[in-house]
Amino acid sequence: MAPRLLVLRTVKSFARRARLYLLACALTAIAIAVLCFTPSSGAVFGSLVISQFYSHGNTGSSTFNTDYVELANLSKTAIDVSNFSVQYIDSSGNVRVITFNSGTTIQPGTFYLIQVGQAGGNGGPIIAPGSPVGQQGPDQVFDIGQATEDLANPTGVTGNKGLIALFGSTTPRDLINCDLSGAVDYVGYGSAQTCFEGIGAAPEGDKNHSSSRVLAPNGPIDTDYNFADFTATITPSTPPTPHNSNSSGFTPTIASGVISGTILTGDGTPVAGASVRLSGSASALTVTDSLGRYSFEGVNPSGFYLVMPSKANYNFNPANRAFSQLGSITEAAFTGEAQPETANPLDTPEYFVRQQYLDFLGREPDAGGLAYWTAQFEACGTNGGCIRQRRLDVSAAFFQSDEFQQTGSFLYRLYKASYSVMPTQEQFTQDRSRVVDGDNLESRKAAFVEEWVKRDSFKQSYPDSLSAEEFVSRLMNAAGYPPRTGEWEAYILMLNHGGTRAQVLTSLINDAGFREREYNSSFVLMQYFGYLRRDADSGGYQFWLDVLNNRVMGNYRSMVCAFLTSTEYQRRFSSVVPHSNSECGQ
């Protein structure tokens, strides 16, 4: 038979593997972290696995004319893999990154089949025999521009060796040096492979024979041990049997878990902004919220985990705690104690990122956003210049984000259009909390404008007695438009044909010309509201507005740098002031 290698994840008795913990989430006067196994919509760790892969396609009389990787969702929850990637070391020793189309979702108890490389002339096309006729091909084709045994052993390596990893991001990893941080699942295989899960690599198999896998009702189980999980049994009469999303599925039994807790000082004060790292069977990073709470969702209940908190100028006792399934209830307690200040927590990437969420978006970071923005700093390593630039770019990105423009900028424009004035920091903070608090943003904004036009202050400026033309004239004048310009006539027609004042006002503040005209003004004001938490002083505001409007166009970086390195901003978080405006010229 032609050379090929098929490696599959072995099915084990789930009852033998799964000893679930009891639900135990209790908070005490000190920090409690409890491993709570409850269904989670964010199921990832231990739930999505590499269930099968095939290398040495298109060689001799191989069964298939190209390679493939198969994934399986073991959880009871659909998993969106839009921002995931499959990465592997190809036959030339390079790392390749396979990404997914936006909206790609793997349903519970189903598979996903990826063709790796173009179809060659040796062997037949990849077919998932368990799928309906006409729907037996791969779910996705990763076209590398050539037909080759791309998952095969790298040239020049003695002994069989391969590595495939599934990540929850698309950031390329240095698989050559076994960088598997943040991997959702991975398999190292072959006698020469030293990078693997558990204490041994998956068997290398016989390249001259196919391998097959028996699927139990519960599907393949991931024990984080490549050697035990995968088999390459020599069965000459059995061809490879890939599965795609149309293949017969299995009944998933894994309920993903949640590790959560609260970190408090000895007197019960929440320790907000503390970094909490998860390692072991899964790697993740989060930060505590204003109440000192944190959580990791989507963890495998059969894994082993280490949780470690950290924050500048704090000690934690104990330094870390381990979780395993040795008992029905697993708890980990941490007490954070403030120490003499020697550093500013803003220099911690995850603390800095969380503060941008709080200051500009008015909310705690979501797990995906925290991971993404923190990774921008981690990519710099120890390069100080790179880190300085990242601070500017990341912070500015929050103001420029659609979420901020739909909330913070929305309120600024509402005040400016209605009254020809900018909001105060107190007005902005109070009103914004009403806009961002809830699920449907557009509905909340519409409701807020309806309430806005009914406020006494608005009615004093725009009495109900005004005619449609009088209302529009007064509103357009406040917004800075000369008489009978812009959408003046359209707004009058709107009011005369059943439209409301709230609809006219909403249309005006969303007008592209108005948004563009007020963009720089709101940008400068938000520096004061966001970084300094106060109203702008007239001199400083006019100076930075002049910089944006009349000097170097778009030169927002110097302004952002000045606020980030200001003593006033840094002292919001610590008496230690490690940065100065001298950095802004670098």
The DSSP result for 136-194, as a single string, is -S-SEEE--SS-S-TTSPPTT-SS--EEEEEESS-----GGGT--TTEEEEEEESTT--
- Predicted pLDDT of residue 96: 92
For residue 161, pLDDT over 90 is answered with no
Q: Identify the CA nearest to 153 among candidates 273, 7, 338.
A: 7
pLDDT at 337 over 70: yes
Query: What is the domain count for the chain?
Result: 1
Across 21-30, 172-181, 490-499, 545-554, which has the greatest mean pLDDT?
490-499
pLDDT of residue 27: 28
What angle (nearest 5°) sits at the alpha carbon of residue 117, between those of residues 113 and 121? 110
Q: What is the pLDDT of residue 46?
A: 58
Is position 333 within any domain? Answer: no
pLDDT band per the 50, 70, 90 thresholds, residue 40: very low
Kindly state whether residue 450 falls inside one of the protein's structural domains.
yes
pLDDT of residue 17: 29
Higher-confidence position of 94 and 572: 572
The pTM score is 0.59
Strands 257-262 and 293-299: antiparallel
Domain extent for 481: 401-554
pLDDT the model gives residue 350: 94
pLDDT at 45 over 60: no
pLDDT at 282: 74
114 inside domain: no
571 pLDDT more than 50: yes
Contact 211, 234 (CB under 8 A): yes
Q: Which of 160, 164, 72, 148 is nearest to 116 (CA)?
A: 148
More confident residue, 5 or 344: 344
pLDDT of residue 10: 40
Asked whether residue 65 carries a pLDDT value surpassing 50, the answer given is yes
Among 18-22, 362-366, 517-521, 529-533, the minimum mean pLDDT is found in 18-22
CATH of the domain at 418: 1.10.3130
The Cα-based distances of 129 to 133, 135, 241, 246 in angstroms read 8, 9, 7, 10
H-run or E-run covering 316: strand 314-317
In a domain, 510, yes or no: yes
State mean pLDDT over 235-242: 65
- The pLDDT > 90 percentage for the chain reads 42
pLDDT of residue 441: 82
Question: What integer pLDDT is reported at residue 74 of this predicted model?
Answer: 82
Most confidently modeled range among 94-103, 148-157, 259-268: 94-103
Could you give the angle at which helices 468-478 and 501-509 cross, rounded to 10 degrees? 30
Whether the predicted pLDDT of 9 surpasses 70: no
Q: Answer whether residue 236 shows pLDDT above 80.
A: no
On the question of pLDDT at 287 being above 90, the answer is yes
pLDDT-above-70 percentage for the chain: 79
pLDDT, tens digit (0-9, with 9 covering 90-100), for 77-133: 788 898 899 999 887 888 999 999 888 999 988 999 999 888 888 888 888 887 887
What span, in angstroms and rounded, lies between the C-alpha atoms of 133 and 244? Answer: 12
Residue 305 φ then ψ, to 5°: -135, 150
380: confidence class by pLDDT, cuts 50, 70, 90: very high
Average pLDDT, rounded, for the chain: 81
Q: Identify the pLDDT of residue 485.
A: 73
pLDDT of residue 24: 27
Residue 496 in domain = yes
Out of 159-168, 410-419, 549-558, which region has the weakest mean confidence (pLDDT)? 549-558
41-45, 59-63, 501-505: the lowest-pLDDT one: 41-45
Phi and psi at residue 167, in whole multiples of 5°? Answer: -120, 155
Mean pLDDT of 362-387: 90
Whether 486 is covered by a domain: the verdict is yes
User: What is the end-to-end Cα distance of the chain in Å, rounded?
Assistant: 64
Which pLDDT does position 300 carry in this prediction?
66
Burial 302-327, CB ≥16 within 10 A → b, else e: bbebbbbbbbbbbebeeeebebebee
On the question of pLDDT at 20 being above 60, the answer is: no
Range 420-439 average pLDDT: 88
pLDDT for residue 64 is more than 70: yes
Please give the full DSSP string across 487-513, using - where no structure is assigned: THHHHHHHHHTT--HHHHHHHHHT-HH
pLDDT at position 333 is 65
Any residues with CB less than 8 A from the CB of 399 and at least 6 apart, and which? 360, 408, 523, 526, 530
User: Does residue 422 belong to any structural domain of this protein?
Assistant: yes
| Most confidently predicted of 69-78, 178-187, 263-272, 478-487 | 263-272
* Residue 146, pLDDT score: 63
Per-residue pLDDT at 535: 96
pLDDT at 214: 41
Pick the most confident of 173-187, 354-368, 385-399, 448-462: 448-462
B/e letters for 91-121, b = 16+ CB within 10 Å, e = fewer, are: beeebbebbbeeebebebbbbbbbbbbbbbe
- Which segment of 35-49, 58-72, 257-271, 540-554 scores lowest on mean pLDDT? 35-49
Q: Residue 228: phi, psi to the nearest 5?
A: -80, -30
Helix (H) or strand (E) holding 256: none
Question: What pLDDT score does 160 carry?
Answer: 73
Q: Which range, 62-76, 279-293, 387-401, is most confident?
A: 387-401
The pLDDT of residue 403 is 86
361 falls within a domain: no
Residues 45-69: what's their mean pLDDT? 79
In whole angstroms, give the CA distance from residue 103 to residue 106: 10
H or E element in which residue 267 lies: none
